[in-house]
Amino acid sequence: MHRTTQRGEGVVGRIEFDTVVAGILAGAVMALVETVASVIAGEGALLPLQSAASVVLHRNAFSSDNLFLVVLVGIVIHFSIAMMYAFAFGVFNTQLRWLTRIRGPREAIFGMAFASLIWLLDFQLIARNFYPWMFEHSQVVQWLIHAVGFGLPLGLLFAQREPPLRVGERPER
């Protein structure tokens, strides 16, 4: 019997699980890259978490009054956004042919392009209008962190997590 779809394709449960895992892992890589960049720039190591927390706490996230709350809110916001965007990337990916989805370099490029779109949406549209303090730091660096620190690992994780063909299945053409 010849099938034109692959195992797990269109199955929301697999997509949800894979996107949560990929979102957490890519979000962790991005958080690490942002922290290193922040320290190299002479800012504090907590600046990335404070910036994430500022989405809810606004400028209060940058005061040291309640550091535990700021760190907690920053972690929740950062990883929630990472999982949300990873889910969107996963849904987008299921629309691609299987042979495209399993190619690491192609997925890496898709991931970086997707993360660049995220940066455009989050910083150039949303932050510009609601969180102007996000522009106190280099936007080129922020774009690179999004593309390389989030998009690259996200794309590679999705390529790696794509299930193999079942016996007798052929990839889509």
Instruction: Say yes or no to pLDDT of 26 above 90.
Output: yes
When pLDDT is cut at 50, 70 and 90, the band that residue 119 belongs to is very high
Q: What are phi and psi of 132, to 5 degrees?
A: -60, -25
- Contact predicate 82/27, CB 8 Å: yes
What's the whole-number mean pLDDT along residues 122-148? 90
Instruction: Say yes or no to pLDDT of 7 above 50.
Output: no
Whether pTM exceeds 0.85: no
Instruction: Say yes or no to pLDDT of 120 above 70.
Output: yes
- Contact predicate 74/53, CB 8 Å: yes
* Two structure tokens written together for 22: 């990929």
pLDDT score recorded for residue 162? 63
Which of 21-30, 57-66, 155-164 is the least confident region?
155-164
Residue 106: is it exposed, middle or buried by C-beta count within 10 angstroms (0-12/13-18/19+)? middle
- Per-residue pLDDT tens digits for 49-89: 999 999 999 988 998 788 999 999 999 999 999 999 998 98
Instruction: Say yes or no to pLDDT of 5 above 60.
Output: no
Dihedral (Cα; 162, 164, 166, 167), 10-degree rounding: 170
Helix (H) or strand (E) holding 57: helix 47-57
> What number of CA atoms fall less than 13 Å from residue 172's CA on the CB side?
14
